[in-house]
Structure formats: C-alpha cells, structure tokens
Structure 1
Amino acid sequence: MRARLKIALVLCFAAAAAGSAWTSAARARPAAEPAYVVLLRLRWDLYAQWKETGRWPSDSAANAALDGHVRYWDEQRRAGRAILAGGMKGDYWDNAALIVFRAASQAEADSVVRQDPAVRAHVFQSQVRGFDVSWVGAASPPAR
C-alpha cells in the first residue's frame, strides 16, 4: 500500500512539475503579433531583359524607383516595422521577393505597401497578405 502511495505521489509531483514548466514556457513565448507579408514580383520586361542578357536593364526610371524602394524599406526597418526581407532564388522564383512587416490592419498594410516607390512606379507587382509571426530567430547566426 505504501509503495502505491509513493508511486502515486511521485507521479502527481512529476505531472505538476511538467505542467508548471509547460505553462511557464507558454507565458515566456510572446503572443503572435499582427504582421503582413508583401510578395513582390519584378515587372516582366525588366526581368526578361535581365535574364536574356545577364545584365540589368538601363532604365533610369525603374532604377530610381528601386533605389527609393531600398531607402523606403530601410526606413521601415529602422522604425521597427519591417521584420524580414529577401529575394527568392531559382530560375522561376528569382524575380520574386517578400517582406514581412508589422501593421495593425489590412488597410494599414496595404497603405504601407502602396507608399513603396517601386510599387507606385509599377516596377514591382505586389500582393499583401496577413502573416502570423510565431517567432524570430537570433539577430545573427552563432559563431562557429
């Protein structure tokens, strides 16, 4: 009888400790924040010229818009709005990029993207979608 009581107490204690650790971990993890992702595709004529010749097209208006795009999203990053950005690799996807950024609503997210100089100049086509940020990794990879 005593052995069963000891086993029951040990199992209860273990379950309570496991439950406590689980709820502590859940509290430590921040809640998902409202964010959006913009998918960007380069205008077809620019992409085709670049792929056919291997050189970036000499289009001063497009280049000015792309310079503005870089400055605009750098400002968004410094303001804490932009979370992640990058271009996709591969023959089919190398004219596509994405930016994950914070916004309080779909309307605000659409407004943020419409202010991008490359979107305004129709150098990029854009689609904005809600995006649940579950976690963000370290700012830089650990040293090897």
Structure 2
Amino acid sequence: MGIQTAKTAILDLLKADSAFSTPLTGGIYAVGVDNVEQISRQDTPDAFDASSELLPCALLKLETTTPLGPYRRSSRQFIVLYVYQQRGHAIVHTALDRAYDLLHKQDVPGAGAWDISMSDVLPDLADDILNAATGYIRFVAIVSQ
C-alpha cells in the first residue's frame, strides 16, 4: 500500500517540478509504471532522439524495504533516482541537487511516507550499457504498510 503510493507520489512531484523536469527532455520514468523496467529503446523510446542517442532522463526505482520502521505497521523503504545524459554530468548534477531540495526532509503530499531523508549520492558514474553519464541519489522513507 504505502510503498507503491510513495513511488507514484514522488514520481508525480518530480514530473510537476519544472526546475527538475525541463532539462530532462528524455522524460522521467519509474520502474513498474507504464511497463518500464529500465532505460532502453524498448521500454522508454522517448528517452532517445531520432539518431538513437540518449536524451537527458531520469529513472525512479524502489529498492530494499526493511521491516524495522519505528512504528508497528511501518517499514523503511529505500528509493533511488538515477539521472542520465549522453555526455558530461552537468544535467545529472543539477537534477540530483534539485531532487535533494524536493525530497530531503520534505513532506510529499499523498505519498503515505514520512521522514524522507537522503541516504547517499553518487553523482559521477558511467553507464556502460547506455554509453552515457549517470549519477544517482538514494533516499530512505518511512512508509505505512
């Protein structure tokens, strides 16, 4: 209940924020929403231009859920946001910074989550499969079950 609700609410928040979404011309996606499992030409064709080059885009994924929340019917849900661009990391860095501003210690309406906090960030990675620059920011949220 709370886990999927949190993912959808965070995805909606990111898409609605123009400072976050405007540079991501290839779109903002979430695993399990609209049959997306990964950034690929099959799952996310809008993330690629006419020459099959990757456009700046983001992918939201749920990770481990631990049943150790502070309340009887809660758990800790790890949520990671990957940002991709073809070359360089400027858009990746800007998007990760904005995601931090939007989510860290913030209330996300309708998320069914509270105490969202940044866990870790790795802004300068390479994705060998997509042949692209990437980075991620991970959050942990307390969600109701």
TM range (shorter): 0.3 to 0.5
In proportion to residue count, which structure has more helix?
A: 1
Q: TM-score, normalised by structure 1?
A: 0.34
Greater RCO (CA < 8 Å, at least 6 residues apart): 1
Q: If each structure's strand is expressed as a fraction of its own residues, which one has the higher value?
A: 2
| Structure possessing the higher radius of gyration over alpha carbons | 1
